């Protein structure tokens, strides 16, 4: 018996990368899986219905149970239908993994309104919409006396939490928002026996991380700490019926799983009972250890990069931010 035997999981963005790895792992652990993915390109364009179908077929061929769904998480009715598809196919729904994401990297002066909106729509609205429809189903089940454990696993990113990247105004904002939604929804949905947590992968090799300095290629033999599969066991643990966690964000980097603590209070200056003056703040703030954001980014990506690695990161940022404006069709 696997750790997820008897449980039904809906996983969005499950056709490739981290979502695909989660779908395969969940199925191997005994879950019945709805593989959701419209098969779009990394920037959200196009679509291929065969992407989700291929993963579902792979699960079935290995002896598991799965169906494919090609709904768009940003469409309210599509989100409703994918929840209904899980219940119709497998009789219930216990787990939602919100993994869908797209990415358009561009300097903020050149980022179009559509590019900003599209990325936020998939990451933030998509996470909310699927969770919302699942929550309504779970609320009704709970009111009918069903006390089964239900779980939502959201997906954020180091870009948005630890290391927001230049050129990712939309993507970083979306991932930070998902971390906040995780806490809000954990508080709200506890009344329906629903736990809500979040995984935040870092330095995982996917289509969205191609070109990130320090990202090595695949390991031909043995354990690969940058493979999307490293995230799947963490998501599966959060999905198990006896997991006690809720409202938590877990960063995953290789085999290291870190409990994130968000914006925590750091050093401060104070003048009890006396209003600040500009001059007073100018003097006092010199005592606070404010860190250069480039140094923080370099360390978060690959640790001590060294001069060559730091130069590579600076070159990547410069090239990305100096890229030409998009064609009118994308704006």
pLDDT digits (tens, 9 = 90+) for 139-148: 999 999 999 9
Does residue 222 have a pLDDT over 60?
yes
Which residue has tokens 């009118």? 328
Taking the chain, what is the end-to-end CA distance rounded to the nearest angstrom?
51
Q: What is the DSSP letter of 70?
A: -
Q: Where are the alpha helices (DSSP H) in the chain?
A: 17-28, 50-61, 76-90, 113-120, 126-143, 169-189, 232-239, 278-284, 293-302, 306-321
| pLDDT higher at 137 or 284 | 137
Task: Output the pLDDT for position 325.
Answer: 58
At 44, the pLDDT band (50, 70, 90 cuts) reads: confident
Q: What is the DSSP letter of 292?
A: P
d(CA 156, CA 234): 13
* Burial zone of 285 (CB within 10 Å; 0-12 exposed, 13-18 middle, 19+ buried): exposed
Does residue 214 have a pLDDT over 60?
no
Among candidate residues 137, 171, 237, 268, the one labeled active-site is 171
Non-local (6+) Cβ contacts of 174 within 8 A are: 101, 119, 120, 122, 123, 124, 160
Average pLDDT, the chain: 87
When mean pLDDT is compared over 181-195, 283-297, 306-320, the highest value belongs to 181-195
In the chain, pLDDT over 90 holds for what percent of residues?
A: 58
d(CA 267, CA 311): 31
Helices (H) and strands (E) in the chain, counts: 10, 8
Average pLDDT of 183-210? Answer: 85
> Which residues, in sequence order, are bridge partners of residue 259?
250
Task: Output the pLDDT for position 277.
Answer: 83
Give the model confidence (pLDDT) of 155-196 as tens digits. Answer: 999 888 877 778 889 999 999 999 999 999 999 999 999 999
Task: Output the pLDDT for position 67.
Answer: 98
Does residue 38 have a pLDDT over 70?
yes
Contact 127, 178 (CB under 8 A): yes
Please state which of the ranges 51-55, 317-321, 326-330 shows the lowest mean pLDDT.
326-330
At 328, the pLDDT band (50, 70, 90 cuts) reads: very low
pTM of this prediction? 0.85
Relative to beta strand 256-259, strand 194-201 is: unpaired
Q: 49: which 2 tokens? A: 């219905």
Non-local (6+) Cβ contacts of 113 within 8 A are: 331
Please state which of the ranges 72-81, 215-224, 289-298 shows the lowest mean pLDDT.
215-224
Average pLDDT of 262-290? Answer: 82
Please state which of the ranges 29-33, 103-107, 201-205, 287-291 shows the lowest mean pLDDT.
201-205
Q: Indicate the domain borders of the chain.
A: 8-259
At 208, the pLDDT band (50, 70, 90 cuts) reads: low
3-state helix vs strand vs coil in the chain, percent to 5: 45, 15, 45
Catalytic residue check, 237? no
When mean pLDDT is compared over 25-29, 209-213, 295-299, the highest value belongs to 25-29
Please state which of the ranges 26-40, 66-80, 94-108, 213-227 shows the lowest mean pLDDT.
213-227
DSSP-based three-state secondary structure for 155: strand
Which residue has tokens 């699942």? 134
Non-local (6+) Cβ contacts of 129 within 8 A are: 73, 74, 75, 76, 79
The radius of gyration computed from the CA coordinates of the chain, to the nearest angstrom, equals 21
Non-local (6+) Cβ contacts of 171 within 8 A are: 101, 103, 104, 105, 119, 123, 157, 159, 160, 165
In the chain, pLDDT over 70 holds for what percent of residues?
A: 87
Task: Output the pLDDT for position 71.
Answer: 98
Task: Output the pLDDT for position 92.
Answer: 98
- From residue 331, how far is each of 44, 223, 284 by CA, in Å? 14, 42, 45
Task: Output the pLDDT for position 330.
Answer: 44
Does residue 75 have a pLDDT over 70?
yes
* Correct CATH for 8-259 of 1.10.3720.10, 3.40.50.720, 1.10.600.10, 3.30.420.10: 3.40.50.720
């Amino acid at each position: 018996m696997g750790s997820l035997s008897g449980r039904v999981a809906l996983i969005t963005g499950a056709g490739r990368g981290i979502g695909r790895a989660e779908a395969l792992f969940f199925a191997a652990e005994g879950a019945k899986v709805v593989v959701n993915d419209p098969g779009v390109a990394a920037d959200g364009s196009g679509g291929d219905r065969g992407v989700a179908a291929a993963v579902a077929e792979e699960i079935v061929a290995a002896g598991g149970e799965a169906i494919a769904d090609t709904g768009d998480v940003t469409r309210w009715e599509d989100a409703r239908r994918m929840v209904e598809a899980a219940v119709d196919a497998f009789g219930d729904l216990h787990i939602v993994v919100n993994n869908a994401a797209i990415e358009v990297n561009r300097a903020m002066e050149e980022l179009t309104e559509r590019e900003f909106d599209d990325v936020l729509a998939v990451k933030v609205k998509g996470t909310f919409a699927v969770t919302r429809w699942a929550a309504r189903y779970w609320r009704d089940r709970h009111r009918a006396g069903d006390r089964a454990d239900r779980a939502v696993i959201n997906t954020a990113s180091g870009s948005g939490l630890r290391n927001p990247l230049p050129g990712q105004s939309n993507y970083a904002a979306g991932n930070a928002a998902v971390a906040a939604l995780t806490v809000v929804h954990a508080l709200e949905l506890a009344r329906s026996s629903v736990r809500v947590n979040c995984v935040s992968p870092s330095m995982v090799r996917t289509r969205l991380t191609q070109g990130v300095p320090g990202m090595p290629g695949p390991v031909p033999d043995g354990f690969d700490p940058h493979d999307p599969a490293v995230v799947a066991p963490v998501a599966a643990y959060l999905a198990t019926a006896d997991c006690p966690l809720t409202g938590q964000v877990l960063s995953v980097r290789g085999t290291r799983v870190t409990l994130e603590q968000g914006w925590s209070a750091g050093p401060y200056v104070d003048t009890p009972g006396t209003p600040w003056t500009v001059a007073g703040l100018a003097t006092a703030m010199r005592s606070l250890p404010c860190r250069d954001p480039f140094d923080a980014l370099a360390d978060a990506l690959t640790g001590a990069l060294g001069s060559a690695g730091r130069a590579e990161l600076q070159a990547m940022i410069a090239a990305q931010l100096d890229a030409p404006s998009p064609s009118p069709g994308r704006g």
